[in-house]
Structure 1
Amino acid sequence: MAILKYLLPALAASQIAFAAKSDNCDGTDKPITIQNQGDAGALASCETIEGDVEIAEHVTGGIALDGVKEITGSLTALGAANMSSLTANDLQSIGKSFELQGLITLTTLGFGSLTEVGEIKWAALPNLQALSFAKGVSKAGSVSITNTGLTSLNGIALDTVGNLDVTANPALSEVNVNDIKNCTGLLNFAANSDKLKISLPNLETGRNMTFRNTSSVSVPSLKSLTGQLGLFGNSFEDFAAPNLTKVGDLVFDNNENLKNISLPQLQTVNGGFQIAKNDKLKEIDGIPKLETITGALDFSGMFETVDLPSLKQVKGGFNMQSKGEFSCDPYDKLHDDGVIKGTYKCKPNLPNPTTKDGSSGTTDGSPAAASSTGAAVQNLANVPVMGLAAVLGGLLQLAM
């Protein structure tokens, strides 16, 4: 019995210590708020933080969140304009959102062990040029990176992702996400460096993909998209998707240097197929297996050759207009044979070729309806034919 005299006080002390530690590591009812480095250091004994962690807006200097391996909720820092660095080199996973916004002096982001995140939402980090993510984030529900100083996405090593939205990062010149195989939502690159080179060597399937203002896009393994593949305002000369067999809407719009389109395995466009304002594209002959377009075919520009030898069905309208001399004979026959179901127009040698909705089909054309946003809005009635994604893409392009 004498030993109990010593054991009971010790047990009671350990329970008090455990309770204090649990409270310190619990952000489920109320987020744990980090006001300074002292608050961050107090979390070092928490391998797991249940709930959310917030970094206060008035934090200055660097914050090092050492010792923590898991945050089951979110890690957020909103408006901490004077925080220069944020590191958490032991942190392996964030269950919900990793959100950073308005950190205008942040230059260092070091998460050497982080591999899993519910979602990444970064915006207005203009001085953040690189990520120190040694292992790389391989799992994320969605990723949005907007208005940062990043020059590459090294450290984002995704396998599968929902949405991947990378926009308005003016220094971003390279994207090479080697491991990504599937994107289940929107993959969007826009308004980054005009020298941006995008390489997605293992991406096989996706939903919607949009590329704007890039100098190179490589998708050698892409096999199918359930939604749109849109290429707007890019500067590359060649686009190839050698393994793509089916896609939703397919749009090539205002790619000023585009000379070659190579889609050698493409058989089905489950939506509209539009080519417009690609003035250097003289030959459209790299799509030899295309059989079915469930929406409209809408080609306009300065092309001199259009060869679609396997075309068997166009369920929507057909508009093909060019300043160049090309032959309408094969398409007249397809129309006569009932292969083309909708309204038919095929016109070579036009001074001002237009798209199906009356917009200019070349960059130097100026028909009355060409650049009117109102005209484009009125043509929302054509959504079932061309596909909503294509129309919205066109509207966004007009606004840029």
Structure 2
Amino acid sequence: MSLSKSPMKAALALWWAGVIAPCFAATSTAASASGCTGTTTIQNIEDASALASCATYSGDVVVATDLVTADQNHNNHLSLDGIKEIGGSLIVQNVAMLLSLSGSSLERVDYDMSFQNLSLSTIPFPKLAGVGKTFRLQDLPQLDTLTFPAEVEFGAVVINNTAIRSLDNTTFNVVSAGSVHIFNNDQLINVSVPINNGQIQTSDILFSKNGAGLNVSFPSLNAIQNMTMQDVLRIDLPNLNVVSSFMEIGGTQLEAFHADRLTNVGGALQFNNVSNLQNLSLQELSTVGSDLSINGSRALELVNFPALTRVGNNFTMEGTFSNISLPQNPQIQGVYYLESSKNISEVCKQLTTSDGVKSSQLTCIYPGSPTQAKNNSNSGHLDTIDESGLSTAAKAGIGIGIALAVVMLGALAFFLAIRRRATNPSKSNHENDRSSSTELFGLFGKIELPAEESRTTPAFTPATSESELSADFKRGKFVPSRGNDMQSRHELNAAIVYELEGDSGASEMHQREKFSFEAPREHV
């Protein structure tokens, strides 16, 4: 009998261990997990301690603005230790009493991770590896240190108005980010982070109004959509290959810009107000889809683009440079405009001859050039050469000559008309009725001469609209209403009028601030 009871006890023990005990364990786990979901608001230290049992919290964690943190051991400190993953967002903002924070176990936040308007001096998350959406540090005037030593991926990074002095791979080891916006951090003087894109295409990088003497380096960045950097002392992008949209670099602080592997910029590449730029290195830059411009440079002697083959719009250089180095026959689709405080006449000649610049016009402004700019406020001079081979000076001379010829011919026509009137006083009554005044056409409109008895000086009535001058007149085909012997003179006048109109656009000198170029219209 005792032998039969032992197998029975063994069977019951196995049944309990395999079926009943797991049920109790599952019930206990479910009870514990029920507090690890939804949106929780931490109002005191006890609330934070309760979350420590949740390795994964599937909702949002929000710290209340009236958080009570003080106790005898941790004055104004909040611990989020114990949580490894937050399936929603972590939001800490406008908490006046919070002075320190820790999250030694946190590895991932699926949505936003935001710290705003706080008095924190440090934010340590040593194991953080990813934030799915935006990581935001904003209005944290006491924050001078970050501790993110692990490689971390962000959907986006915003750092605004902090006291952080340095971001590097020991404090902010960012390996991937959809966008990076860092601005209004007046203590920030060093940024060197190993962003290498990973699986996320970096859309844009923005730096503006940070510390004086800021050095920025992205040693692993290889592609980006947009980049804007203002008031940075030095920029190093040693592995950047493609900017798919635009790149804008500006500010008087900039002294050096290096991107020696950059080959293609899909939109504009602009260096604006870079008065202290001394060193510009773009050794492999081949194509710029829109404008390529450097303006305001007072320290850059040589503008060097040794691999440049195409600029989709305007090529503009303004500063104190004395030389430009380009490969043979670059395709400049828009305006080619050079302005320097130094004599660059030889540079301009070389571009139009041996380098064969393919542009509708080349404009050079520099001291001592043959032709003075029309805008007398310009410090330089204007010397324009277009595809017709005529300089601006030559076209201006032609225009003046034509204008003088028109005036002389107009005066001659006026004199002959008066003389003819005087030598033919007798006309039919019908003609006298129609001819109480003599009508002449000239460059400026219609001149009416009153009847003989009241005539003193001719009255001038300008044309009020283009319709008063017919299309035939503008093309030298005007036939006056009387006197075939007058036709040839009017045809000559009209032809000269149109000739002057045709060249007037080309003989216009370009203003310093805004210029436009237009090839002379083909004469009809």
The one-character-per-residue Cα deviations of 1:114-141 (angstroms, maximum 9, x if unpaired) are 01111212210111111122324x2111
Question: 1:275 — aligned with what?
Answer: 294
Question: 1:164 — aligned with what?
Answer: 180
Instruction: Verify the 8 A CA contact 2:148 2:173 in the aligned structure 1.
Output: no
Instruction: Pick the structure with more helix per residue.
Output: 2
Question: 2:49 — aligned with what?
Answer: 41
Instruction: Verify the 8 A CA contact 1:78 1:102 in the aligned structure 2.
Output: yes
| 2:201 maps to 1:190 | no
For 1:236 and 1:201, locate their aligned partners in 2 and report how far apart those are by CA, in whole Å: 19
Instruction: Pick the structure with more strand per residue.
Output: 1
For 2:120 and 2:139, locate their aligned partners in 1 and report how far apart those are by CA, in whole Å: 10
Question: 1:132 — aligned with what?
Answer: 147
Question: 1:72 — aligned with what?
Answer: 87
Please point out which of 217, 226, 243 is paired with 1:208: 226
Instruction: Verify the 8 A CA contact 2:329 2:357 in the aligned structure 1.
Output: no
Q: What TM-score do you get using the length of structure 1 for normalisation?
A: 0.79
For 2:329 and 2:186, locate their aligned partners in 1 and report how far apart those are by CA, in whole Å: 41
Larger radius of gyration: 2
Please point out which of 92, 100, 113 is paired with 1:85: 100
| 2:122 maps to 1:108 | yes
Instruction: Verify the 8 A CA contact 1:237 1:257 in the aligned structure 2.
Output: yes
Deviation, 1:214, is 1.5
| 2:31 maps to 1:20 | yes
For 2:354 and 2:291, locate their aligned partners in 1 and report how far apart those are by CA, in whole Å: 18
Please point out which of 28, 42, 51 is paired with 2:59: 51
Read off the aligned partner of 1:45 and give its amino acid letter.
S
Deviation, 1:156, is 2.3
- Residue aligned with 1:24, SS: coil
Instruction: Verify the 8 A CA contact 2:258 2:281 in the aligned structure 1.
Output: yes
Instruction: Verify the 8 A CA contact 1:168 1:191 in the aligned structure 2.
Output: yes
Deviation, 1:312, is 2.2
For 1:353 and 1:224, locate their aligned partners in 2 and report how far apart those are by CA, in whole Å: 37
Deviation, 1:189, is 1.2
Instruction: Verify the 8 A CA contact 1:288 1:310 in the aligned structure 2.
Output: no
For 1:302 and 1:90, locate their aligned partners in 2 and report how far apart those are by CA, in whole Å: 56
Instruction: Verify the 8 A CA contact 1:215 1:236 in the aligned structure 2.
Output: yes
| 2:166 maps to 1:146 | no
Question: 1:359 — aligned with what?
Answer: none
Whose RCO is larger (CA < 8 A, sep 6+)?
Answer: 1
- Residue aligned with 1:131, SS: strand
- Residue aligned with 1:26, SS: coil
Deviation, 1:323, is 2.1
Deviation, 1:82, is 2.2
Read off the aligned partner of 1:164 and give its amino acid letter.
V
Instruction: Verify the 8 A CA contact 1:269 1:292 in the aligned structure 2.
Output: yes
For 1:48 and 1:281, locate their aligned partners in 2 and report how far apart those are by CA, in whole Å: 56
Bigger shift: residues 313-322 or 175-184: 175-184
For 2:282 and 2:185, locate their aligned partners in 1 and report how far apart those are by CA, in whole Å: 30
Please point out which of 190, 195, 198 is paired with 1:174: 190
Structure 2: give runs of 5+ residues left out of the alignment: 1-7, 70-75, 368-372, 382-510, 516-524
Read off the aligned partner of 1:330 and give its amino acid letter.
Q
Deviation, 1:151, is 1.1
For 1:97 and 1:369, locate their aligned partners in 2 and report how far apart those are by CA, in whole Å: 49
Question: 2:384 — aligned with what?
Answer: none
For 2:29 and 2:248, locate their aligned partners in 1 and report how far apart those are by CA, in whole Å: 56
Going from structure 1 to structure 2, the CA distance change for 1:260 and 1:153 (only over 3 Å counts) comes to: closer
For 2:29 and 2:300, locate their aligned partners in 1 and report how far apart those are by CA, in whole Å: 70
Question: 1:251 — aligned with what?
Answer: 270
Bigger shift: residues 289-298 or 325-334: 325-334
For 2:262 and 2:27, locate their aligned partners in 1 and report how far apart those are by CA, in whole Å: 62
For 2:22 and 2:221, locate their aligned partners in 1 and report how far apart those are by CA, in whole Å: 56
The one-character-per-residue Cα deviations of 1:77-129 (angstroms, maximum 9, x if unpaired) are 121132111211101111111111111x1112111110111121221011111
For 1:305 and 1:369, locate their aligned partners in 2 and report how far apart those are by CA, in whole Å: 21
Instruction: Verify the 8 A CA contact 1:301 1:353 in the aligned structure 2.
Output: no
| 2:269 maps to 1:261 | no
Deviation, 1:311, is 4.2
| 2:245 maps to 1:239 | no
Structure 1: give runs of 5+ residues left out of the alignment: 355-367, 380-400
Question: 2:323 — aligned with what?
Answer: 305
Q: Tell me the C-alpha RMSD between the 2 structures.
A: 2.9
Deviation, 1:338, is 7.5
Deviation, 1:9, is 9.5
Instruction: Verify the 8 A CA contact 2:149 2:172 in the aligned structure 1.
Output: no
Q: What TM-score do you get using the length of structure 2 for normalisation?
A: 0.62
- Residue aligned with 2:350, SS: helix
Read off the aligned partner of 1:191 and give its amino acid letter.
K
For 2:282 and 2:57, locate their aligned partners in 1 and report how far apart those are by CA, in whole Å: 50
Read off the aligned partner of 1:75 and give its amino acid letter.
L
| 2:131 maps to 1:117 | yes
Residue-pair matches, total: 351
| 2:350 maps to 1:330 | yes
Deviation, 1:73, is 1.2
Deviation, 1:32, is 1.1
Determine what percentage of the aligned residue pairs are the same residue: 30
Deviation, 1:63, is 1.0
Deviation, 1:280, is 1.5
For 2:222 and 2:115, locate their aligned partners in 1 and report how far apart those are by CA, in whole Å: 30
Question: 1:383 — aligned with what?
Answer: none
Instruction: Verify the 8 A CA contact 1:240 1:262 in the aligned structure 2.
Output: yes
- Residue aligned with 2:48, SS: helix
Read off the aligned partner of 2:64 and give its amino acid letter.
A
Deviation, 1:206, is 1.4
